[in-house]
């Protein structure tokens, strides 16, 4: 089941459980498309475009390919490639997902760097043999929710950046 199907299942469960909002199947489909219009962090687009001048920049996402394409277009974001875990039939943080991504790029894992704002994603990449770059997000919505995400020292990562502009400066 890809992210679109998971999101729709959760939406149906919530609407059915609370039974306060009644939406037709078409209305639920339309509401579920909000995932296809997520905004990027304000500093991410220009940083990614700058990094593309020096590196191949490919997104590896747990989101569906359709969400990744639509969000990229919505945010005027250009990648060198989009790789959805739905194609790999395994998802991050499974080490094979990262290793397969490297293989598809024709690279050894140690030749690839995973950039992320979540330590659990980077831990999975590191365990798979990839280099890692952590980008701090002070206002990341995830930080407000209970999580089993490990607390990791910034020294754990090959690169640690205060924001995307800092990442660009450190990598170029």
Reading the chain (172 residues) residue by residue, the pLDDT tens digits are: 899 999 999 999 999 999 888 999 999 999 999 999 999 998 999 999 999 999 999 999 999 999 999 999 999 999 999 999 999 989 999 999 999 999 999 999 999 999 999 888 999 999 999 999 999 987 654 444 444 444 567 778 999 999 999 999 999 9
- Per-residue pLDDT at 138: 75
Q: How far apart are CA 106 and CA 83, in angstroms?
A: 14
- Per-residue pLDDT at 120: 87
Residue 158, phi-psi category: left (phi > 0), alpha (psi -120 to 50), beta (remainder): alpha
- Per-residue pLDDT at 9: 97
User: Collapsing DSSP states into helix, strand and coil, what is residue 172?
Assistant: coil
CA distances (Å), 82 to each of 6, 40, 96, 119, in order? Answer: 20, 15, 17, 21
Q: Which two tokens stand for residue 87?
A: 């194609």
CB neighbourhood size of 140 (10 A): 12
Where are the domains positioned within the chain?
Answer: 3-36, 40-171
Give the DSSP per-residue string, 80-105: SEEEEHHHHTS-TTSHHHHHHHHHHT
40-171: CATH class: alpha beta
Contact of 55 with 35, CB cutoff 8 Å: no
User: Collapsing DSSP states into helix, strand and coil, what is residue 41?
Assistant: coil
What pTM was computed for the model? 0.85
């Amino acid at each position: 089941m890809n992210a679109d199907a998971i999101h729709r299942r959760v939406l149906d469960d919530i609407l059915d459980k609370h039974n306060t909002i009644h939406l037709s199947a078409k209305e639920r489909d339309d509401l579920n498309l909000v995932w296809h219009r997520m905004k990027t962090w304000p500093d991410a687009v220009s940083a990614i475009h700058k990094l593309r001048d020096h590196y191949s920049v490919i997104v590896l996402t747990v989101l569906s390919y359709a969400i990744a394409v639509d969000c990229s277009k919505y945010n005027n974001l250009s990648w060198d490639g989009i790789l959805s875990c739905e194609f790999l039939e395994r998802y991050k943080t499974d080490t094979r997902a990262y290793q397969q991504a490297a293989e598809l790029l024709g690279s050894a894992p140690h030749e690839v760097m995973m950039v992320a704002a979540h330590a659990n994603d980077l831990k999975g990449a590191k365990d798979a043999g990839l280099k890692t770059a952590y980008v701090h997000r002070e206002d990341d919505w995830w930080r407000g929710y209970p999580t089993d995400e490990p607390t990791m020292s910034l020294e754990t990562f090959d690169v640690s950046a205060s924001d995307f502009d800092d990442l660009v400066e450190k990598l170029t």
